[in-house]
Amino acid sequence: MARPRTAILSREIIGRAAIDYVESGNELQLVPLARRLGVSVSSLYHHVSGRDGVIHAMRQVLVSEYMTEGPVPGDWAQRIRGEVERTWRMYAAHPRVLQHMMTVVIDEPDVLRFYSTLADALAEAGLPDGEILTTIEVIDAFSFGAALDALSPDTVLGAERATGKLAELLPGHPSGAARNRLVFDRGLELLIAGVEARVSAYRSAS
Amino acid sequence: MARPRTAILSREIIGRAAIDYVESGNELQLVPLARRLGVSVSSLYHHVSGRDGVIHAMRQVLVSEYMTEGPVPGDWAQRIRGEVERTWRMYAAHPRVLQHMMTVVIDEPDVLRFYSTLADALAEAGLPDGEILTTIEVIDAFSFGAALDALSPDTVLGAERATGKLAELLPGHPSGAARNRLVFDRGLELLIAGVEARVSAYRSAS
């Protein structure tokens, strides 16, 4: 007979089970999660502190898979592209977990390293200190918006009721995963170009 | 005795009830939604076609509240700002409904009018046809990412474990609603500046 699952319960096992559970379309609740793991809710509490603790455990699992590689080489824009690509891949592969991850404070060292790298890259770009954190939050908000965009139906807009320019453009537009990838790439380029424009404006004003 | 609720059931009533239900943190399911309305699931089906139909009804209710005002005056960038502000307000006030709205095809005339206005504005800006729809999707993905950012805790990053530039900047950073508003405003400005940079690059290349 196999050993009972309780003997091997850990924060990581809880995090992985919760990721599967949430990505299968279930609401994150401790009782059914414990049942799925074949343990009691009080056993969960030996490893994680409640629902927020489960969310931290989910993030830790994903971060260890997507965000522990070393620094991306290159100039500030290349470093931003490389770093943001990793988080976007993490978000896009787990859009339902993402919606929970956003609700708890970020204190995982690998995630803080990611934000630190963006801060250093934006400072190197010449962005004033007062704009760096908000710009990071903009890039992050765009990344998770673009990741959630992957939940969209293959065709987002109903072309038969569209008119004018929109109606003219819809038939040739890519759909599905190609459309979603294009949204991420183009959006990141537009934001980087926006940062460059902002830096130029500051330089010519000073 | 009051008339039974079934007598006044409508698509709009179902949409409003579903919005309240989802925004209260419940999973969207037809059985408990019908129970809350005091009707049978089959009564719901007289007005909406299943779960997707309920999502369409929710969007129709929100669109009628946030998106039926006339066109925004001004140049292309002002029109984009004004239009996107409306959808962002809608998304930000109903982040949990938003997560459902994204999963069904958009065919509401007022929403298509919104996308048409953005398409016309970007064409007027001088963006090539082949980039217009993706740029609209970028702006939209950013808007719902910024709206979901409102679900973040007041302080997003745990400052005590941050280092370097990030640690230096965190203490002076705004929090809560002020932080969220700033993310939306700044992000939209960066994207508009990005579009301008893209248009300039095309003009100087041609």
Q: What is the ipTM of this complex?
A: 0.89
Q: What is the pLDDT of residues A108-132, one digit of tens each?
A: 888 889 999 999 999 999 999 999 9
Q: What are phi and psi of A131, to 5 degrees?
A: -110, -5
Q: What is the pLDDT of residues A15-42, one digit of tens each?
A: 999 999 999 988 899 999 999 999 999 9
- The sign of the dihedral angle between the CA atoms of B5, B8, B13, B18 is positive
Residue B7 has pLDDT above 60, yes or no: no
Residue B6 has pLDDT above 50, yes or no: no
Query: Whose structure tokens read 């900047």?
Result: B169
| A118: Cα separation from own chain's centroid | 15
Is there a single domain that holds both residue A85 and residue A182? yes
Residue B164, chain A, CB below 8 Å: the answer is yes
Q: Which of A:38-77 have CB within 8 Å of B?
A: none
Residue A78, chain B, CB below 8 Å: the answer is no
Residue B159, chain A, CB below 8 Å: the answer is no
- A169, B138: Cβ pair inside 8 Å? no
Query: What is d(CA A25, CA B122) in angstroms, rounded to the nearest whole number?
Result: 37
Q: What is the pLDDT of residue A3?
A: 54
Q: What is the pLDDT of residue A158?
A: 78
- The residue in chain B having the minimum alpha-carbon distance to the alpha carbon of residue A156 is B105
Which of these, A15, A119, A24, lies nearest to A63 by C-alpha position? A15
- A141, B116: Cβ pair inside 8 Å? no
- Mean pLDDT for B23-47 is 92
Is there a single domain that holds both residue A98 and residue A37? no
Q: What is the pLDDT of residue B143?
A: 94
Residue B96 has pLDDT above 90, yes or no: no
Residue B5 has pLDDT above 70, yes or no: no
Q: What is the pLDDT of residues A49-82, one digit of tens each?
A: 999 999 999 999 999 999 888 889 999 999 999 9
Which of these, B172, B175, B166, lies nearest to A109 by C-alpha position? B166
DSSP code per residue over A21-58 = HHHTT----HHHHHHHHTS-HHHHHTTS-HHHHHHHHH
* Minimum mean pLDDT range among A4-18, A31-45, A184-198, B165-179: A4-18
Residue A4 has pLDDT above 70, yes or no: no
Domain count, chain B: 2
CA of A131, closest CA in chain B: separation in Å? Answer: 9
- The residue in chain A having the minimum alpha-carbon distance to the alpha carbon of residue B196 is A194
Which of B161, B169, B198 comes nearest A129 by C-beta? B169
Residue A23, chain B, CB below 8 Å: the answer is no
The CATH number linked to B4 is 1.10.10.60
**Which of B66, B89, B121 is the endpoint of a domain?**
B66
Is there a single domain that holds both residue B30 and residue B88? no
Is there a single domain that holds both residue B28 and residue B113? no
Q: What is the pLDDT of residue B102?
A: 84
The whole domain housing B182 covers 71-206
Is there a single domain that holds both residue B62 and residue B118? no
- The sign of the dihedral angle between the CA atoms of B117, B122, B125, B130 is negative
Residue A28, chain B, CB below 8 Å: the answer is no
- Mean pLDDT for A80-101 is 91
Query: What is d(CA A170, CA A178) in angstroms, rounded to the nearest whole number?
Result: 15
- A135, B190: Cβ pair inside 8 Å? yes
Q: What is the pLDDT of residue A157?
A: 81
Which of these, A134, A104, A129, lies nearest to B155 by C-alpha position? A104
**Which of A27, A51, A66 is the endpoint of a domain?**
A66
Residue A142 has pLDDT above 90, yes or no: yes
Which of A112, A137, A164 comes nearest B166 by C-beta? A112
- The residue in chain B having the minimum alpha-carbon distance to the alpha carbon of residue A116 is B166
Residue B3 has pLDDT above 70, yes or no: no
Q: What is the pLDDT of residue A206?
A: 80
Is there a single domain that holds both residue A144 and residue A115? yes
Is there a single domain that holds both residue A26 and residue A124? no
Residue B22 has pLDDT above 50, yes or no: yes
Instruction: Work out the pLDDT band at A6, boundaries 50, 70, 90.
Output: very low
Q: What is the pLDDT of residues B137-172, one digit of tens each?
A: 999 999 989 998 888 887 778 777 888 889 999 888
Residue B78 has pLDDT above 50, yes or no: yes
- B120, A164: Cβ pair inside 8 Å? yes
CA of B13, closest CA in chain A: separation in Å? Answer: 24
Provide the 8-state DSSP code for A126.
T
What tokens does B203 get? 């003009």
- Mean pLDDT for B125-143 is 95
Q: Which residues of A touch B112 (CB under 8 A)?
A: 157-158, 161-163, 166
Q: What is the pLDDT of residue A120?
A: 96
**Which of B36, B66, B96 is the endpoint of a domain?**
B66
Share above pLDDT 70 across residues of chain A, in percent, rounded to a whole number: 97
Is there a single domain that holds both residue B52 and residue B124? no
Answer whether A38's CB lies under 8 Å from A6's CB: yes
Q: Return the number of other C-beta atoms located less than 10 Å from residue A124's C-beta.
A: 13
Residue B178, chain A, CB below 8 Å: the answer is no
Is there a single domain that holds both residue B29 and residue B103? no
- The sign of the dihedral angle between the CA atoms of A149, A150, A152, A154 is positive
Is there a single domain that holds both residue A11 and residue A92? no
The CATH number linked to B107 is 1.10.357.10
Q: What is the pLDDT of residue B81?
A: 96
Average pLDDT of chain A to the nearest whole number: 90
Q: What is the pLDDT of residue B56?
A: 94
* Minimum mean pLDDT range among A184-193, B22-31, B48-57, B147-156: B147-156
Give the bridge partners for B157, in sequence order: A106
Residue A178 has pLDDT above 60, yes or no: yes
Is there a single domain that holds both residue A57 and residue A109? no
Is there a single domain that holds both residue B29 and residue B102? no
